[in-house]
């Protein structure tokens, strides 16, 4: 009952933000509902990439987040050849660990995750309100959802995409987003049809990412690559401090 009450309160806050005409507060509600600043978070992720005309690649991973300290660790479980590889993010530093060479290499949050249509930044906490300014507000119908539509432009160079457009349903959850280059080129489209509630927060059940540039022509028509992320077994249980360390990755990668 307490969890349900918390969810109701947070949803009401998000709805009131728009009712009062404050889209910036609505954006803050979006961030709050999918971030875990006051607890740890972990879940299993199945990342399936459909490469147009080439077939399907799958990655199984477990992800650990400590949003309050700006940390995450991603441990690859499958395919077997990549088992033990991992990503470790601490503040603005992100390393990729290879258990074969036993070396850490710097990578960027802007890079593609394992050559999929997801980016490394997709696995960290939401920070739209901090990183973007709102340049346009509208209302649109998206399937069964009545949505507030926000056109956003980045206020710093650290974000992965300088221009983003969000479709936010009345429960303050993002149902669709479009990411653009600075020149206005559409780069990818993301759909999040369903969420699962946990501890007064929300986690997508599935995320569908359609690449607008990466793909190939099939029978004369461009078909973009697609990635589907399925999230299961979400947990808010406290994680050990040593999990967010290079030593931990070295140990589990043996």
Per-residue pLDDT of the chain (254 residues), as tens digits, is 444 444 434 444 444 444 446 899 999 999 999 999 999 999 999 999 998 778 899 999 999 999 999 999 999 999 999 999 999 999 999 999 999 999 999 999 999 999 899 999 999 999 999 999 999 999 999 999 999 999 999 999 999 999 999 999 999 999 999 999 999 999 999 999 999 999 999 999 999 999 988 877 777 777 788 999 999 999 999 999 999 999 999 999 77
> What's the pTM value of the predicted model, to 2 decimals?
0.88
C-alpha 213/C-alpha 52 separation (Å) is 12
User: What single-letter DSSP state applies at residue 170?
Assistant: T
Both structure tokens of 5: 């009450």
Q: Which residue has the tokens 């300290």?
A: 69
The kind and range of the H/E element at 187 are strand 186-191
Biggest CA–CA distance in the chain, Å, is 56
């Amino acid at each position: 009952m307490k969890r349900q009450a918390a969810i109701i309160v947070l949803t009401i806050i998000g709805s009131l933000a728009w009712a009062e005409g404050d889209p910036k507060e609505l954006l803050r509600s979006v961030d709050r509902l999918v971030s875990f600043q006051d607890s740890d978070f972990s879940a299993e992720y199945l990342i399936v990439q459909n490469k147009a005309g080439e077939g399907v690649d799958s990655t199984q991973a477990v992800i650990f987040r400590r949003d309050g300290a700006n940390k995450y660790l991603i441990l690859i479980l499958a395919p077997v050849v990549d088992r033990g590889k991992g990503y470790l993010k601490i503040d603005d530093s992100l390393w990729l660990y290879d258990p074969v060479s036993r070396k850490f290499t710097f990578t960027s949050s802007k890079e593609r995750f394992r050559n999929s249509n997801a980016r490394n930044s997709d696995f960290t906490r939401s920070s739209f309100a901090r990183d973007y300014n709102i340049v346009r507000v509208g209302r649109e119908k998206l399937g069964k959802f009545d949505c507030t539509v926000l056109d956003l432009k980045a206020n710093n160079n650290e974000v992965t995409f300088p221009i983003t457009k969000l479709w936010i349903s009345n429960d303050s959850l993002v149902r669709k987003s479009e990411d653009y280059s600075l020149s206005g080129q559409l780069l990818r489209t993301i759909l999040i049809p369903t969420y699962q509630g946990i501890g007064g927060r929300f986690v997508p059940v599935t995320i569908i990412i359609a690449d607008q540039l990466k793909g190939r022509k099939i029978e004369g028509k461009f078909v973009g690559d697609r990635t589907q992320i399925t999230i299961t077994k979400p947990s808010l249980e406290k994680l050990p401090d040593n999990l967010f360390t290079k030593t931990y990755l070295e140990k589990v990668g043996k």
